[in-house]
Each structure stands twice: as structure tokens, then as C-alpha cells.
Structure 1
Amino acid sequence: MVKYKFPDGFWWGSAASGPQTEGRVKGDGKADNIWDHWYKKEPEKFFNQVGPQNTSKVYQSYKEDVQLMKKSGHNTFRTSIQWSRLIPNSDGKVNSEAVKFYDDYFNELLENGIEPFVNLFHFDMPMRLQEMGGWLNRETVEAYVHYAETCFELFGDRVKKWFTHNEPIVPVEGGYLYQFHYPSEVNMKHAVQVGFNELLASAKVIQKYHETNLDGEIGIILNLTPSYPRDENSPADVKAAKIADAFFNRSFLDPSVKGTFPKELVEIVTELNMLPEMEEGDLTLIEENTVDLLGINYYQPRRVKAKESAKNNEMAPMPDDYFDDYEKPGRKMNPYRGWEIYEKGIYDILANIRKNYGNIQCFISENGMGVEGEERFTDENGKVQDDYRIDFIKDHLRYVHQAIQEGTNCLGYHMWTCMDNWSWLNAYKNRYGFIAIDLDNNAARTIKKSGEWFKTVSDNNGFED
């Protein structure tokens, strides 16, 4: 039996987001974000036509949820404030119902020994701002800074861990390259501008937070997908993997931690004549306002080979013009999500952060396994027997432990997600939670076997295997 012991004070918990969990109730004062709008416009795009208005009903059930978090071993929990809930209108006025909800929610967590980690933006652009261009419009950057300052003022006395964005590459990919987020465009020039404006907004908010007298920390959450070349001895494959890494990892990692942009990406964007519009001082501001803390979301690797397929001239330019994806023979798969399971990837990310990013303090902010039709694993007592999820977490935690033993400054592990929640176009197709949600029974909650196991991990600050 090998005991994997983690450092004292390790953050055990999970992550979620406001738009994926809260839902809407009459009189809550929330305005539409892009997901509310898209669902009203094209409900057929959403799995089983389940939209964001119901989700997991956390708005009504947060007190019960916090008790379930305690029972499943949480000492920390990440969620997000919904911009469209807190500041619903263009007048900039705060919604008092939203303030009451978030005050009560955060207080409930703290009173039960669970520290709230709060993210400011989780893919939920207010529709009133999207109609003016969303992240394409520099005015959105200034509106975001006002929103963030409002959050700090209202909740900063209790919330000590803030994050500017969750996975900022996803609105770039989904909204402006691959059409799985609204506005569902294919426009590389817009993608570049959106990415730059997100980074500018992040740096401005970090600057504002550091100017306050609050004693917390502010960071960013990035989904890092290690890019592995098909053949490490092939210069063409290695170059392709390096370019993929620059597009999908270093595009946000380098400026967020180092204050600089990867030269490979700058060269490509320059050659395409697609440098973003910026103002004097923007690059200096990004350089001088880097993160205190890095959240790392890891689900799968990216395997890359030199470009062999024909370029799609109708869609070009695209990142895919510079590499092809590669399917490694014999890879382990999550068949429900269509993603490769490669546990060592989490170690490789942490080792890279230690060696090449100043060993900045970091934590695993998401890691998880989505399973479709999970109710078929429910036993006679109504509990989901998700041993596969326990094995998944164990297999990743072993590598997290190894990275820590080698000196990586990793402070915690959050699974995606606390309870089964709504996931954009996929709605409730794949279940990820420690806690099951019964949509046919008023979103009733039941802790899964994995949640009970996670409590023992948290209590013991580690596990035996």
C-alpha cells in the first residue's frame, strides 16, 4: 500500500460556474447573457433542448448544496459571479437581488469551513454588450473593469481568491473559429482581437485589484492541453506541436504569467496581417500586471503531426493550417466525451510550470470525467456507483503528487464539478459531478460514491492505494 500524502492546507474541492448552475427565478433581476439569447433563438442546438434557465437551481438550493459540499470533503469551492445578474443594465447599476444572493452564498460557504474562489467571467457575456460586439469592442473591456471593481467592493472583504477569466481561449475558439459558442463565427481576425481584448481586460482588472487594500490574490484559470508531436525525432512534427502549443496554450499562459506573447504566434499573426488593434501603453500594462496565482484545467492532451491534409481554403486562415491532429494508436479513451485519457499530461503541465514559468503558485482548477447515461450505474439505494471516476481522480492525483514531490508549487486539486450541471450546447448529456442531479425530480441531489470517497481523501489529506 502506497500512501499519497499532500501538503498541509491543500485545497480539496471542485469547480462550477454561475451560468451553469444558478438558473433563473421570477424577480431575480438577471438579464440575458449570450446563452440565454442563443437558447431562445435556436433551442434545437442544445442537447434535449435543455436551456440555461433551469440548470441545477443553485439560486434556490445553495444552502443544501453547501451541506453536500461538506459531506463530500470540500474545504474550497470555485464558482463565478454572473455579470448579467449583478449589473443587468447599461446604466451600470447593481441588482440588489444579486447582491443578496451572492452575499448569502459566500457567507454560507465560509460559515461551513469552505473558502470561496470566485471567477469573474465564465463564457457568459451579457447580451447587451454582445450586441455591441462583445470582446471585439474595447468598450466591453472598460465595462468589465467596472464590473470587476464592483465585485471587489461588494465581496472582497470575504473573497480572497479571485480569477479574471476561466479558459479565455474558449470564447476565441468557440465563438470565432469553431462555432460552438455564440456568435458562432469563423473569423481569424476577430479571434485574434477577442483574445487580445480578454488579456487586456485581465491585466486592467489585476492592476485595479492590486491597487485596493484587500489582502487576497488574483489569478486566471487556463485550460492547458499539452501538445505532443507524433514523432519527437521529426523536426516537422516538433515544429507543428510547438505552433499548436503557441495557439492554444501559450497564447494566454505567456502573457498572464510572463507578461509577453509567444514569438511563434506573433510571427504568424503578423504574416497574416492580423495584428490586433491596440492603444499605446497596452503592451506595457499587460507586461506589468501578471497573475498572482494560476489555475490549471486539464482534461486531455493534444497530439499533433506536421500538416498533411489539404488546407480548407473556404475557412482559412485557421490554426489548423499549421498542423494536423494525430490519433495515437492504443490511446485510452473516455468514449462518452470522445477525449483521450492521459494522466501523465497533468504532471507534464506542472513540470513545465515549475521549469519555465518561475514555479508560480498554481493549483489544478479543473479535472474530470464526463459520462453519458450515468444513471444506469445507480444501485438499489439510489446511489451512483461511479468507481470509474474514483479511478480517474486517483490516476491523476498520483501524478500531481509526484510533481509536488519534485518541487512544483501546486496548492490544490478541484474536480469539475461539484454536482452534475448544465454544460452549454451539451446541456446535461455528460455528467461530471460528485453529486447527482435528478432533473425529473425537481433537481434532487444525491452524493455519488466518488463524493463519499473524496471526503476520505480530504479528511486524510491524501489516499492509500
Structure 2
Amino acid sequence: MLFTKDDFGDDFKWGVSTAAYQIEGAHNIDGKGLSIWDTFSQKKKKIFNNHNGNTACDFYTHYADDIALLYKLNIPNYRFSISWSRILPHGIGAVNIKGIDFYNKVIDFCLELGIEPWITLYHWDLPQELQQKGGWANREIINWFSYFVDCCIKNFGDRVKRWMVLNEPMVFTGAGYFLGVHAPGKKGLSSFLAAAHHAALCQAEGGRIIKTLRSDCKVGTTFSYSHVEPYRTGNEKDLKAALKVDALLNRMFIEPLLGLGYPTKDLKILERIERFMYPHDEKKLKFDMDFTGLQNYTREIVSHAPLMPFVKAKIIKASKRNVQHTLMDWEIHPPSIYNALKRYSSYQQIKEIIVTENGAAFTDAHEEGMVNDSERVKYLQDYIAQVLLAKKEGVKVNGYFVWTLMDNFEWAEGFYPRFGLVYVDFATQQRVVKNSGRWYSQFLKNTVPASM
């Protein structure tokens, strides 16, 4: 069965997503302060091949060309984030006018070309000065973050009408404050639970601030969601393990926001978060978002693991299961995005779902001016088909954004995994549109159908 862009309706939002630290570079010029990723990426053996985002894609210099490329590719919506330390070098206090000017130029040029800017307020690059005071593990982050949100909305809210408060809070708190594999490199359950609770409070408080300052803005936030299944179907221990992992990965932040509280019934260890809760926090965790950003790449297969602390469960890697997978060792399983959308649709409080990230990393070869990434083309077609299937079944999904516009700095994996629709030669900063970028452009122009 073939489908086209028209099958999704005229109001469906198509776009691409990026993040400030992953593309901007210019890490220490024009008044920008250090972020936790500026610091973390300088530590040996933390990032693949000791890569860092000091230059990345140099979007700070090339923004006009890159936005013009968006226009050339027929991409009507661009999701990007604001570097907190670029506009507030110390996290709070004095505003860096050159940082404000940069984002004004990005926003204004998008609008000039008819591209709608969608801004993520926090995409993992906390100012280093705030981390030295405890970062997300310090409850004062609520006040610091509120100051940042207020600054952004007052400077950009007159033109930007779609805002996302946080990007994947489960990932930046889990990887950054429990496992220590992402910035700021902290470890331990107490550190994680404190950071997680404060992030959950900030996602609601950020929404309230935006709506108070600009009632004409649409407010959302984004969540990572990986469909979880037990390794052995029908095995009671694996079923319980999968339920725990699902509670941790997929429910820990969305449910408090919806007024359902933390999923402590299915993951008892989360009861310890109560020691970081103040009176009335349960009420403060709740906020009625205009839309919810869903970010799906894969599914996770989980088995019981009695020696694993806290959850007694482990994820079985795709390569160990001999299934088709990406360079990130994430299983290619298109129904995962359908299942994620159906799950979110079961929450009656959610008004609108936007797929704010979906994509894949493969070994891309630049040969004779071309990048023939046929695996990525098929991946996008198959996942988009599942989005359409969910939409046809009544799921309130109204947008799809590819991760990502161009190859970039992929956090702990450095520049090794390439997710982009556009190939970047990091030595020369040359951009080459991949076949996937050409396909997406033609699909959005409605000149090529896709199979379902």
C-alpha cells in the first residue's frame, strides 16, 4: 500500500530537530559561558575518541546556509534548542546580548523563509556554574530554570509560538546523575532521584511560566519512549522485569505531569523520591500541556536479572538477539513507534501528540559527491507508515520531526554515529544532502509516495 504526505492531512506538522550543543560550536566566543557538556567533553575517556562539541557543525557561523538548506529541502518546521549558557553565561543574572542576537537572527531568518521555529528550552547543556552548585540535584534549579524560561519567552515569545520545556528528562537525569555516562557525570540513586524530581517540577513550572507570559504560545515537553517487551513471553519474572523498566523509562515523567503521580506501584524504588518532595509538590508536578512530544527510535527487550540493583532487570541488546539494528545497537522495529503512540493515546489528558524525534544512525559513506543511505530511507518510510497507521486508528498524532537535520556531536558517542539527512564533513564543514534528505524533501513536496 502506498501513502503520501496528503494522507496525513493539511494540518500535520513535518520537520527536523537539532540541539544547541550538538551543532552550534562557538563554545567560548561572543560571551558564552561554559556548559556541563563543555566541561564533561574535555575529560579523558568520557567521549568516543575524546571528541567534543567545541566546533561541532559550526552552526553558529553557518546558520544562514543551514536554514536556507531547510528551505531548499521543503522542510516547513525546525525544532532547535537554546543554549542556556549562551544567553545567560552564569546561569542567572546578566544577559549576554550577543547570545540573544544570535537566536534572534536564527528565528527571524526562519520566519523570513516561511519556516516555523519550534524551540526546546533545555536540551541537556546546563551552565557549568549552576552545576557547581549541585545542578539538577539542587532544588534551587527550579528558580534558576524559571529565570531562564522567563528570559527566553520575553526575548523570543513574540515570534516563536511552539515551545518545548525539557528534552527527554529521563535520559539527562538517568545518564547524567545515575549512570554518570553523560554530563555532568554524577552517579548514584540519591543523586538521580533528586535530579529527576526537580526536573519533573521544572517541566510543569516551565509550562506555567510560558502560559503566564504568552497565552498565545503552544506549550509542550518531550519524552523518550521505547516500547518494552519481556524477553520470554509468558515468563512471570520477565513480565515483571519489563513492567519495572517500562515504569522507569516511559512513565516516570509523563505520569506526574498528567496528575497521576510517580509510578511507584510498579517500581517500588521510586518511593524513595518522597524524601525530596516538599508539601504541595504533587500538585506542582501537574500541568496541562497543549501538546506532548514523543521521541521513539526502538523497542527494548527485557529479562529478569536478580543481580541488577534496584530493578532486577536488564535490557538484552539488539546485537545479542541477532535482529536488524542501527549503529547505536538499537533494534529496527517500526511497530515500536505505533505502540508508543497508542500508549500515549491511552492517556486521556494528552491533547495532541507530536513525534519530536525519530531517526537512525548508519555507516554513511560520502562517495563522488553522494551519500547513498538506503537503509535510512527505508527506516523513515517504515516508521512514518506506522505513524499513519496510528493516526488512522484515531491517535491524536499531528506531527513528525526527523532526528536530525545534519550529522552532529552525538553526546558520549561523539561524531561516530551519523543520524543526519545531511552529511557533514567535520574537517571542512562541507554539507552534502544524503539520499534520505532528498527522499524526505520529495515526500514533503508530495512528489514521491512511500510504501506501507
Structure 2 residue 340 is the aligned partner of structure 1 residue 349: yes
Cα RMSD, aligned residues only: 2.0
- CA-to-partner distance for each residue in 1:339-387, whole Å, 9 max, x for gaps? 1111100000111112234453011111111124x22xx342x121111
Structure 1 residue aligned with 2:280: 281
Q: 1:323 pairs with 272, 293, 313, which one?
A: 313
Structure 1 residue aligned with 2:393: 406
Structure 2 residue aligned with 1:360: 351
Structure 2 residue 410 is the aligned partner of structure 1 residue 423: yes
Identity fraction in percent: 29
CA spacing shift, 1:46–1:324, aligned 2, 3 Å: closer
Report the TM-score when normalising by structure 2: 0.94
Q: Distance in 2 between matches of 1:32 and 1:91?
A: 13
Shift of 1:157: 0.9
Report the TM-score when normalising by structure 1: 0.91
Q: Distance in 2 between matches of 1:431 and 1:138?
A: 36
The residue type paired with residue 234 of structure 1 is N
Structure 1 residue aligned with 2:374: 387
Q: Distance in 2 between matches of 1:279 and 1:357?
A: 28
Structure 2 residue 427 is the aligned partner of structure 1 residue 440: yes
Q: Is the 8 A contact 1:332 1:342 kept in 2?
A: no
Structure 2 residue aligned with 1:9: 11
Shift of 1:259: 4.8
Q: Is the 8 A contact 2:75 2:444 kept in 1?
A: yes
- CA-to-partner distance for each residue in 1:249-295, whole Å, 9 max, x for gaps? 1001212234522232563333xx453412222211113x2322111
Q: Is the 8 A contact 2:92 2:147 kept in 1?
A: no
Q: Distance in 2 between matches of 1:44 and 1:327?
A: 23
Shift of 1:102: 0.3
Q: Is the 8 A contact 1:157 1:214 kept in 2?
A: no
CA spacing shift, 1:143–1:330, aligned 2, 3 Å: closer
Structure 2 residue 39 is the aligned partner of structure 1 residue 37: yes
Q: Is the 8 A contact 1:364 1:414 kept in 2?
A: yes
Shift of 1:439: 1.4
Shift of 1:462: 7.6
- For structure 2, the 5+ residue unaligned runs are none
Over 6 Å off, 4+ runs: none
- Aligned pair count reads 448
Q: Distance in 2 between matches of 1:365 and 1:224?
A: 11
Structure 2 residue aligned with 1:304: 302
* Map 1:34-433 → 2, pairs under 5 A: 34-40=36-42, 42-89=43-90, 92-264=93-265, 267-270=268-271, 273-287=272-286, 289-307=287-305, 309-311=306-308, 316=309, 318-319=310-311, 322-326=312-316, 332-358=323-349, 360-372=351-363, 374-375=364-365, 378-380=366-368, 382-433=369-420
Shift of 1:324: 2.7
CA spacing shift, 1:274–1:213, aligned 2, 3 Å: closer
Q: Is the 8 A contact 1:331 1:340 kept in 2?
A: no
Q: Is the 8 A contact 2:317 2:329 kept in 1?
A: no
Q: Is the 8 A contact 2:360 2:419 kept in 1?
A: yes
Q: Distance in 1 between matches of 2:367 and 2:264?
A: 54
Shift of 1:86: 0.7
The residue type paired with residue 10 of structure 1 is F
Structure 2 residue 438 is the aligned partner of structure 1 residue 452: yes
- Name the stretch that deviates more: 170-179 or 28-37: 170-179
Q: Distance in 2 between matches of 1:150 and 1:359?
A: 27
Shift of 1:123: 1.0
CA spacing shift, 1:326–1:148, aligned 2, 3 Å: same
- CA-to-partner distance for each residue in 1:302-337, whole Å, 9 max, x for gaps? 111233x534xxxx4x43xx2232467865332521
CA spacing shift, 1:282–1:359, aligned 2, 3 Å: closer
